[in-house]
Chain A
Amino acid sequence: MTRFLSPLARVQPTVYLVVAGAVFLLVGSLASARFASLTVGGVGVGAAYGSLALALVLIYRATHVINFAQGELAMLTTYVAYQLIQWGLTYWEAFFATLAIAFVLGTAIHVTIIRPVQHRSVIGTVIVTVGLFILIDGIANWKWGGIAYAQLPSPFGFGSWDVGGVPIQHLYVGMFGIVLASVLLVWALFRFTKIGLGMRAAALRPAAASLAGVRVDAMLALGWGFAAVLGAVAALMYEPSQFSGLTPTLMQTALVYAFAAAVLGGLESPAGALVGGLAIGVFLNMLAGYAPQLVSLEVPFAFAALLATLLIKPSGLFGHRQVQRV
């Protein structure tokens, strides 16, 4: 039996799992229109979770800490976009200006407050990001918290296509497309450019990279910058899908889902973060659609997914196992 299966066994079991999940969603969508529209919504929102999770993964790979302020930073940049639009920029001008600002912010944060503590202790670095969380929250509340109802215009409108009786909202398709494009861009940057190579080297083997002439600190700072950009994309795409509009708490639950997504995919794996985000997004949307009485338990469910992953397979779906017996 094993010999019979051996050509198949070379394919990672996680690939089967992902393909099986996709097939399940496809078949379900063909069978039920409601299922299909829930899937589309979940994929759209899940892409935003995935993008934020990818930001966490980038920073985890570079500095081996989790940036607890990642969601708040994304929220802040969304307010920056809101402000720019208020000042008369068009949506897409504001979008790209915001990404540039996010990049500068992320880099500056690493240079000023993370670099001095990052070699000291994990706990110390985590506490600094926690301080940053509270600081950004305070700034956003102070500057924009008084606005009764703030909202970004949706770049894709709120219309929908009709595909075989299933309404497919432009919003979700656009979200997915933009997130996918930005993720592919970041991936290409890491894969095909010299700077990307330097960043990977700096994250993987800082000492060796520095001996080979890579400016490790600069590379890590760039990594924080790109993470902030991905976070900004996530928040900018996520905001129009929220009924509550733009609030300082916009990204707080999204951050929990992004944590769950990142852990589910394996904290080390960019592809895993994206797949994890989509899985969490679809799962939560199904939960909200089919079991609305459990809506307060969305966060605990995500928590359970996170904990279960950590306990059953700590390396996540796409991560590599690190063996250390104590």
Chain B
Amino acid sequence: MRKQLPALGSVAIVAAVLSVLPFVLSDYNVYLGAEVGVFFIAVLGLNILTGYTGQISIGHGAFMAIGAYVTAVMSRDHQTNLVLTMLVAFAACFVIGLLVGLPALRLSGVSLALATFALAVSVPQLPLQWSNYLGGSLGVQASSKPSSLLGISMPGVAALSNRWIYGVAWAASALLFGMAWLILRGRVGRAFRAVRDSEIAAVASGVELGLYKTLAFGISAAYAGVAGSLFVMASNGFAQSQDFLVVLSLQLLIGAAVAGLGSLWGILVGAAFVGLLPKISTSVPLVGSDNGRDIVYGLLVILVMLVLPGGFAGLLARLRSLTRDLNRESIPVKLR
């Protein structure tokens, strides 16, 4: 426990800052903060799969889309409480993730990247095909009845205001972060890392390869599903397939890379990178409005991978080893 103290301390500080922020920032910035919270969950989930288990996925935007449509459709058809839809999105994406993870058992490296990429391209097409039920290109709007949206009430905060979304998103983030930490520090986490470092060695040590690979896929997809569910709430209750195109999946992977694969301590930075950069870089000189985002994005990602392959967490670890206070647990292990 004593060894964990610095980690717990920094988590407490970050949590304190995050809970003060909505009372200090302007309304728009609170909204941006909520978006960062959404990406936090998705990047965290992806990191469990790619960073800890070594299974690349370029398709997590697809799971976000599934979570989003689950929430929107349930709210539209049954006026379901939004918290409940988050749980359903979690469960649904967990199951779908397991199913996707099954074929993924036979794939690795490049093939898995291709298969998940194809998933990311395919899923946003489905609402266009079944437009009667899934709203086509217009999307699905969650019920606008305030009673149903009051699923979570916070004293003095109007439902679906930016502060409300911020609160819900970060509460969910905290919960899921704690869950990820518990999963990863124990037996399951060790098995994940064993699979990542060497499948042969893992099997030889009695790790059930199929079980842990699919489990990682399921958990990771479930996280993305919750993120998608929150994404709907943050975008005025709309689930629209054009929000979940391939670019979103690429963004999540970039977020995980910037955060540092195989470590939990950089995820906030990775999420902020993905969530805030598009908004900040629109004012890049010369490049101008919308396209500036993509150019800066692309350049930064390549730079990070060239200069700082461990991402932000790797930087932290390097700083820490400079100060000779080596904490072995959080050094990201080199991936194959």
Chain A residues with CB under 8 Å of chain B are 60, 64-66, 68, 113, 116-117, 120-124, 126-128, 130-139, 141-142, 145, 252-253, 256, 259-260, 263, 267, 294, 296-297, 299-300, 302-303, 306-307, 310-311, 314, 326
Contacts and interface: CB of A to CB of B under 8 A. Distances in A.
Report which residue of A66, A134, A145, A310 has the largest number of chain B beta carbons within 10 angstroms of its beta carbon. Answer: A134
Contact of B292 (A66, A138, A145): A138
A293 to B, nearest CB: 9
Query: Size range of the interface on B?
Result: 35 or more
A136 B107 contact: no
B157 interface: no
B302 A132 contact: yes
Contacts of A120: 309, 334
B111 interface: yes
Nearest to B119: A303
Report which residue of B106, B122, B300, B334 has the largest number of chain A beta carbons within 10 angstroms of its beta carbon. Answer: B122
Contact of B301 (A127, A137, A256, A259): A127
Contacts of B209: 326
A62 to B, nearest CB: 13
A21 to B, nearest CB: 22
Interface stretch (B23-31, B125-133, B174-182): B125-133
A300 B125 contact: yes
Contacts, number: 156
B250 interface: yes
A303 B246 contact: no
Contacts of B109: 122
B335 interface: yes
Contacts of A294: 129
Interface in B285-327: 287-288, 290-302, 305-306, 309
21 contacts: A68-B58, A127-B253, A131-B297, A131-B301, A134-B250, A134-B301, A135-B295, A135-B299, A137-B298, A138-B297, A139-B295, A263-B114, A302-B118, A303-B119, A306-B114, A307-B103, A310-B106, A310-B115, A311-B103, A314-B107, A326-B200
A302 B334 CA distance: 34
A311 B125 contact: no
B38 interface: no
A141 B290 contact: yes
Interface of B: 50, 54, 56, 58, 103, 106-107, 109-111, 113-115, 117-119, 121-122, 125-126, 128-129, 199-200, 203, 209, 246-247, 250, 253-254, 257, 261, 287-288, 290-302, 305-306, 309, 334-336
Nearest to B302: A131
Given A68-B58, A131-B297, A297-B129, 10 more contacts: A64-B110, A65-B110, A121-B334, A127-B257, A130-B301, A135-B298, A137-B298, A138-B298, A296-B125, A307-B103
The B contact surface, by secondary structure, is helix
A70 to B, nearest CB: 12
Nearest to B256: A127
A126 B56 CA distance: 9
B130 to A, nearest CB: 9
Report which residue of B103, B291, B334 has the largest number of chain A beta carbons within 10 angstroms of its beta carbon. Answer: B291
Contacts of A132: 298, 302
Contacts of B113: 66, 68, 122, 126
A116 B250 CA distance: 21
Contact of B295 (A65, A133, A138, A256): A138
Contacts of B309: 117, 120-121, 124
Report which residue of A116, A135, A302 has the largest number of chain B beta carbons within 10 angstroms of its beta carbon. Answer: A135
Report which residue of B246, B291, B298 has the largest number of chain A beta carbons within 10 angstroms of its beta carbon. Answer: B298
Nearest to B247: A134
B295 A123 contact: no
Nearest to A126: B113
Contact of A300 (B122, B288, B291, B306): B122
A60 to B, nearest CB: 7
A134 B246 CA distance: 11
Contacts of B301: 127-128, 130-131, 134-135
A141 B125 CA distance: 23
Contacts of B305: 117, 124, 127-128, 131
Contacts of B203: 326
A134 B297 contact: yes
A297 to B, nearest CB: 5
Nearest to A308: B103
Nearest to B295: A138
